[in-house]
Amino acid sequence: MASPKKKLQGLVAATITPMTENGEINFSVIGQYVDYLVKEQGVKNIFVNGTTGEGLSLSVSERRRVAEEWVTKGKDKLDQVVIHVGALSLKESQELAQHAAEIGADGIAVIAPFFLKPWTKDVLINFLKEVAAAAPALPFYYYHIPALTGVKIRAEELLDGIQDKIPTFQGLKFSDTDLLDFGQCVDQHRQQQFAFLFGVDEQLLSALVMGATGAVGSFVSRDLSILWSN
Ligand SMILES: CC(=O)N[C@@H]([C@@H](O)[C@H](O)[C@H](O)CO)[C@@H](O)CC(=O)C(=O)O
């Protein structure tokens, strides 16, 4: 089971994937990017290959290399590197999850499959469970982003009993504007000490009031990072 000791909290930068003019990944700037986040913005947690990183537009091999580069360059500088491993293919998602574990990432996150969609909670949970099982020592986060996946199962419904199915479940990345759903997640699962990471930057203040324990965003700054450092 994943160790809960490294709780992911505070500000988490959703990293872009740097590209060259030729459309190749520009691995050479990732080291500078780490330094920029840590030194200039005071951010020591990152979320790689997510929406901002355009992970779903990359090939599996590119996703693996991007993850490796962030983990390598972030070593001894970053606190946590969480890799988004969601994919339409369960096997690809499992491969990426296993790879994240092998390279020493600190957690994995998964969105709902968005083409042939899971229409019930149980179907979605079964998919997530199979991915999580491929990396049984890594904390697992569900990435709830219904506007992009079209999967509108409420997060609060999904969280109900989730640790019975996914023992490594450690939190929710909530990228939706339904603050009632977010508030109910926090309220009903406070005792389980899940990470409640909010992902709509424009509503962050409201989410903080409702109990967000962190935020994953494309707009990160020192001003925001100090929100959690006092
Ligand atoms: C859909 C999207 O890209 N959302 C951003 C937000 O930071 C977003 O850019 C911001 O709220 C502006 O709309 C992050 O939540 C994305 C994110 O965490 C990710 O890259 O996975």
> Residue 134 C-alpha to ligand 1 middle, in angstroms?
26
Ligand 1 near 201 CB (within 6 A)? yes
**pLDDT tens track, the chain, 230 positions:** 445 457 899 999 999 999 999 999 999 999 999 999 999 999 999 999 999 999 999 999 999 999 999 999 999 999 999 999 999 999 999 999 999 999 999 999 999 999 999 999 999 999 999 999 999 999 999 999 999 999 999 999 999 999 999 999 999 999 999 999 999 999 999 889 999 999 999 999 999 999 999 999 998 787 787 777 75
Distances (CA, A) of 73 to 23, 39, 52, 113, 167: 22, 14, 19, 30, 30
> Residue 121 C-alpha to ligand 1 middle, in angstroms?
24
Of 6, 7, 143, 152, which one is the catalytic site residue? 143
Question: What does the block give as tokens for 30?
Answer: 């990732």
Ligand 1 near 216 CB (within 6 A)? yes
What is the residue type of 56? Answer: L
ipTM of the complex: 0.93
Distances (CA, A) of 137 to 28, 82, 104, 168, 170: 30, 13, 10, 7, 12
d(CA 214, CA 4): 16
| 143 assigned to active site | yes
The torsion region of residue 109 among left (phi > 0), alpha (psi -120 to 50) and beta comes to beta
d(CA 28, CA 33): 10
The full set of domains in the chain, from first to last, is 10-225 (3.20.20.70)
Ligand 1 near 140 CB (within 6 A)? no
Q: Could you tell which of 46, 148, 197, 200 is best to mutate to test the pocket of ligand 1, judged by most ligand atoms within 8 Å of the CB?
A: 200
Global confidence as pTM? 0.95
Ligand 1 near 47 CB (within 6 A)? yes
- Which candidate, 196, 189, 198, 105, places its Cα nearest to that of 145? 198
Question: What does the block give as tokens for 110?
Answer: 């998964």
> Residue 53 C-alpha to ligand 1 middle, in angstroms?
10
